[in-house]
Each structure stands twice: as structure tokens, then as C-alpha cells.
Amino acid sequence: MPNLDYVNGDATNLEVDPVVDETVYVATNGYGVFRTRDGGKKWQPINRGLIAPYVKGPNALIAVTERPGLLLVSTLGGGVNESLDRGEHWRSISGGYTFTFGMAAAAGPGLRLAAARPNKLIIVSDDGGRSWIETELPGQRPEHIATNAVAFHPEDQRVLVAGTLAYGYRAADGLFVSRDGGRHFARLELPENIPRVSVNAIRILGGKVPMMYVGFNGIGLFRAPLQ
């Protein structure tokens, strides 16, 4: 592995194939993506065409349930990549956006994607990665703060929540929500008892009152209605 301060070789993401239960994929921060087809007895690297083997971010590896065989991976240095054949071949689909953290995918009539980027940036695609727009989260954008976790509302893909991280044990910048597909964001105010720590996971559950579950680094999991 290269001597980079953000690379450590750890396993970072795990996905089970939506069709074949014994096929499991694991992404790592330094060695790329691995696959087992026998429930974990044997593993093999599946990195052909993957530009950068550094996968670090919430939900940075996605096996798209509605598109069997489609894998997506977000990488540090190679951006968002897709495989149409369960990891046999990869290709970059995010153009010049080459440094991405966490990711989200929402399948419907099309495939909507979002990926977190440094400096409180986020990229969104409405057409499965053929084209992208980049948006800045509101407020100041110091270099030590990045967008880290992103999640779509499962019943309304126009709603997208993004959470930030901070490098070097400094304060992060909380949560933001977009209600127009990632074109504009507004801050979600956090309770006073939640410090400005990094957001490591976001999950939104639909229903009459949508609920948002957020994992904050070092202080645990919190739940709140998504107003």
C-alpha cells in the first residue's frame, strides 16, 4: 500500500448479493474489493478496471437490489465506479470527480446516485452516472470538513440528507437536507446535547412520519423525524 495518511487496509463495507445469498462483497481501504461465492470459504480480489483501491465511506459499496449484477463503489482517487457483472469488470462513471467518500443509490424508473466529496461538496446524478452536478453545502467550507454520509428518502428521491466529517479530531458541521434532488441544501438543526462530531451513517425510513437514523462518531445512534 502507498504511504498515505488516509489508507490503512481495513475492511470498510460489506454487501450481500441481492440474488445469490452466498455471494458477498467486501470493500477495503487499500486492497480494493473482494468477493466470495461460497459464503466466505474462499475470497478473491475483483479489481479489474478499478482505478483506485481505496474505499472509505459510509455505504461506499452498493449492490443495487433492483438491478441484479450491478455494483457501485466510491473510491478515494478513482471516484464512483460501476460493475455490471458482479465485479468482474469496473469502469469509472464520475468523470473528473475522483475523490469520493460515502454514497447513496435510489432505484426507480431511473437510477439516482449521490456521492460525498471533500470541502462540504456533494455530487448527484439523475441518470445512473452518465452526468453529474456538484453542490456546495451551506456555510463556511474549511478544508478540514468534508461531506461523508448521504442517504435518499426511500419514498421521495428528491429528498437527500448529507452528513459531514472533520479531519484531525476537530468539529464537524452537522447535517443538511435537500428537497430538490441535491440542487440546494439547508441545515438540519441538531439538539444541543449532540456535539459537532462526524456523521458516520444515515438511514431514512419512510412512512406517514419519515424517521431518520444517524450514527454519530463516538456518541452512538440517534433517531429523529425528518420534517
CA dist list (Å): 91 to 80, 86, 150, 178: 9, 12, 22, 29
pLDDT at 198: 95
Spatial separation of the C-alpha atoms in residues 113 and 216, rounded to whole Å:
23
* pLDDT > 90 in the chain, percent: 85
Q: Domains in the chain, please, with CATH?
A: 101-225 (2.130.10.10)
Could you tell me which of 174, 138, 135, 178 has the C-alpha nearest to residue 156? 178
**Which 8-state DSSP code applies to residue 219?**
T
Which pTM does this prediction carry?
0.93
**Interval 30-86: pLDDT, tens:** 999 999 999 999 999 999 999 999 999 999 999 999 999 999 999 999 999 999 999
Spatial separation of the C-alpha atoms in residues 80 and 207, rounded to whole Å:
30
pLDDT at 39: 94
Question: 100: which 3 cell numbers?
Answer: 469520493
| DSSP per-residue letters across 83-148 | ESSTTSS-EE-STT--B---EEEEESSSEEEEEEEBTTEEEEESSTTSS-EEEEPSS---TTEEEE
**Which 8-state DSSP code applies to residue 191?**
P
